[in-house]
Amino acid sequence: MAIFVNEQTKVVVQGLTGRQGSYYGLRNRAYGTQVVAGTNPQKAGADVEGIPIFASVADAVQATGANASFVIVPAAVAADAILEAAEAGVPFIVCVTEHIPMHTQAAVFNRLKRDFPHTRLLGPNCSGILSPGKCNIGFTPAEVSMPGPVGIVSRSGTLAYQSIFELTQKGIGQSTCVGIGGDPVPGTNFIDCLAAFEADPETKGVIMIGEIGGAEEERAADFIQHEMTKPVVAYIAGVTAPPGKRMGHAGAIISGSKGTAKAKMEALEKAGARVALNPTQLGDLMQEALAG
């Protein structure tokens, strides 16, 4: 099985007529994802290599039965795009757009929670989601993946790709790889994904990749300790990051003694997770964990 998406997922790409949207939308379709529609109010009735363009997400859903949205539009209109998909009844929205202001992210998060509690947002500023052999929405390079029993959840897209490759090199496949993004207000967090992997009977182990900043990894550690029965292998990026300096992602900043890699690693080890000291160890540690 897979979490959140599978071979039945039908995707509408909000931004398909743009340069990046068409590139990744067509790349996802080439992998086998059911990319059934795009949206652009000015280009309704046109198509992108056979994918029909609709004036709105609501029109696309009505015509194609789309049940997932891929938001790849500029930051200035991304929040409106997310809410448009939610208002159209789309239950799963992937937003890869970066540079959305934090207060805007918070407003969207709270609006979804209040008015659209059955809609899940992945992102923003995330790499997307890949269920090998079933569905790919976003940037994840499916060429290095293979179907199998390990779930991956990561704040970093690049490190997620590396972990996929490390596993595949060892002949260990993946059930789903979820990039939750590195912004301060993620629509889907570590615990959401850990709970879904715990409930998935075909996922036998989980790799969790965090980074400095915030307290999500410590919260995840508490969940791992009390709720997870499956082995978890973790890595925290940013061991050498100086306090008070943002490192890459908007959420990757240490404030005082909080949010440090050391504190997160200690919390995860205490919770029973195997903690890698560098990303190249992830495959080895997961192989050991699956072997019992």
User: pLDDT per residue over 29-67, tens digit each?
Assistant: 999 999 999 999 999 999 999 999 999 999 999 999 999
- Do the domain assignments include residue 4? no
| Last residue of one domain, picked from the residues 122, 153, 175 | 122
On whether both 184 and 258 belong to a single domain, the answer is yes
Task: Please check whether residue 286 is in contact with residue 205, taking contact to mean a CB–CB distance below 8 angstroms.
Answer: yes
- Give, for 80, the enclosing helix (H) or strand (E): helix 75-87
On whether both 147 and 257 belong to a single domain, the answer is yes
- Do the domain assignments include residue 197? yes
- Do the domain assignments include residue 131? no
Average pLDDT over residues 100-124: 97
On whether both 47 and 164 belong to a single domain, the answer is no
- Do the domain assignments include residue 133? no
- In this prediction, residue 214 has a pLDDT band, given cuts at 50, 70 and 90, of confident
- Do the domain assignments include residue 112? yes
What is the residue-averaged pLDDT of the chain?
93
CA atoms within 13 A on the CB side of 33: 32
Question: Of 92, 66, 89, 93, which Cα lies nearest the Cα of 79?
Answer: 93
On whether both 36 and 86 belong to a single domain, the answer is yes
| Last residue of one domain, picked from the residues 122, 156, 178 | 122
Res 229 pLDDT > 90: yes
| Last residue of one domain, picked from the residues 75, 91, 122 | 122
Q: Does 153 or 257 have the greater pLDDT score? A: 153
Task: Please check whether residue 165 is in contact with residue 187, taking contact to mean a CB–CB distance below 8 angstroms.
Answer: no
On whether both 161 and 243 belong to a single domain, the answer is yes
- Do the domain assignments include residue 127? no
Query: Could you tell me the pTM of the whole model?
Result: 0.93
Active site residues: 249
Question: Of 152, 103, 158, 150, which Cα lies nearest the Cα of 126?
Answer: 158
How many residues make up the chain in this entry? 292
State the CATH number of the domain containing residue 93: 3.40.50.720
Q: What is the pLDDT of residue 241?
A: 56
Q: What is the pLDDT of residue 253?
A: 46
State the CATH number of the domain containing residue 154: 3.40.50.261
On whether both 73 and 158 belong to a single domain, the answer is no
- Do the domain assignments include residue 286? yes
Domain that holds residue 181: 140-291
On whether both 89 and 144 belong to a single domain, the answer is no
Number of domains in the chain: 2
